[in-house]
Amino acid sequence: MITKYDVFTEILKHKIKITDIAKALNQNYTNIHIKISSLKNNKVIIKKDDFYYINLNNKKSYLLAKIIDYCIRHKLNYNFFLNKIMVKILEIALNKDSVSIKDFKNFNKTTLKKYIDGLINYNFIIIKSKKPFLFSILRNQIFVDILNYFDIKVKERKFIVEETIFKKTEDELKKYKQKSKKRKFYIKNIEEELRFDFIHSTTYLEGNTLTLEETIKLLKHGIYPKKDFNDILEVKNMNSAIDYLFENLKKDLNLDWILGAHRIIMQGLHEYNGRIRNDHVRILGNPDFEVCNYKILKPRLKEFVHDFNTKFKACQTIKDKIIFSVWVHNEFQYIHPFFDGNSRTTRLLVNYCLLNFGFPLINIYETSKDEYLSLTKLSKERDDKKFIAFLSKIVLDNLIKINEKIIN
């Protein structure tokens, strides 16, 4: 069934006549005219000389164009998100850090399941517990835009570190280790999948344009996409960096380890690959993000390595290990020892910690980009507590989804 958003999408491509819209969507004139009238009433399109245009002076038009553009670029069905049921789900869930089915009173169970399953498949939902089913929705900008489009204000979410999440993580980690011993064949396939997911997400978080499908084709089959060469090189370098990570996993962390990882990540992308910066840097889009003065980087990194190894050895519980991983992430980002590639190196270091603690490769999803950046590089101030709440959810969700893939 054609929606008014399908019509808007055709107009978004270029100025167009109503007859051409009907032809493009294989619809009769009357049906398209009804959709056009609805869009005109909302003032998101305008007509001039028989042609329809996007109304660039209308805020809702801009929001709708932004939502649809995001969905098309990420191969999402915009009609799935732009309806009253989804809007109501988002209105309830987006403002809560922990959501249960009980929060959706008066919802049809089958319909609710359809939308929740869809959000899970799109990786927008972080699962906290299967029984009872508890989850949170990643605060992606698209959801904020959707609610704003429907005139719903979005409240600031409180990040709560839930003590129960560490026990759940411990249980899922034990389950993963038990399954890994019994199902070694399946684990190898899953590890390859995790590797591709991680490479795609960690480069996507820095603006890389390769899709997951293109990433897999490039690395597994040597098929090069028609994309910028630097984007291709970023993906290939990260694949080599994962090799480096596993080859050097049991070595103690030192400055040479860090520089070696960065050298591989930025090979051919920056002349200072594997070298500490010798000048000031600023975080694009966030003047409040203060990084270490380049003149004291060497002693600061020496201090970081010492503190890292001391804290690493002291970790006993799952909670200790998550908190330590957060410290590593935020401490290294604020030191910011390189001109470029700091965040990719940071996420590799976090996985150095987690892998040594017995976790599988942990992925910060591409769908979590907005929430992740708002807590790190785009945050006005460092807040480890908020990031603990975020990373603990991500780690648990990774484990739950990995365990579901392994056949008992």
pLDDT digits (tens, 9 = 90+) for 14-60: 999 999 999 999 999 999 999 999 999 999 999 999 999 999 899 99
Contact by Cβ (8 Å): 7, 32: yes
- pLDDT band per the 50, 70, 90 thresholds, residue 104: very high
Q: Is the peptide bond before 132 cis (omega within 30 degrees of 0)?
A: yes
Contact by Cβ (8 Å): 354, 325: yes
pLDDT value of position 188: 83
Question: How far is residue 247's CA from residue 287's CA, in Å, rounded to a whole number?
Answer: 37
For 121, residues 6+ apart whose C-beta sits below 8 A from its C-beta are none
pLDDT digits (tens, 9 = 90+) for 304-324: 999 999 999 999 999 999 999
> What is the pTM assigned to this prediction?
0.89
Contact by Cβ (8 Å): 355, 347: no
pLDDT value of position 283: 86
Return the closest-CA partner of residue 297 out of 283, 316, 280, 272. 280
Question: How far is residue 110's CA from residue 354's CA, in Å, rounded to a whole number?
Answer: 38
Q: In the predicted model, what is the mean pLDDT of residues 368-397?
A: 94
* Residue 241 scores a pLDDT above 90: yes
Question: How far is residue 42's CA from residue 264's CA, in Å, rounded to a whole number?
Answer: 52
- pLDDT band per the 50, 70, 90 thresholds, residue 408: low
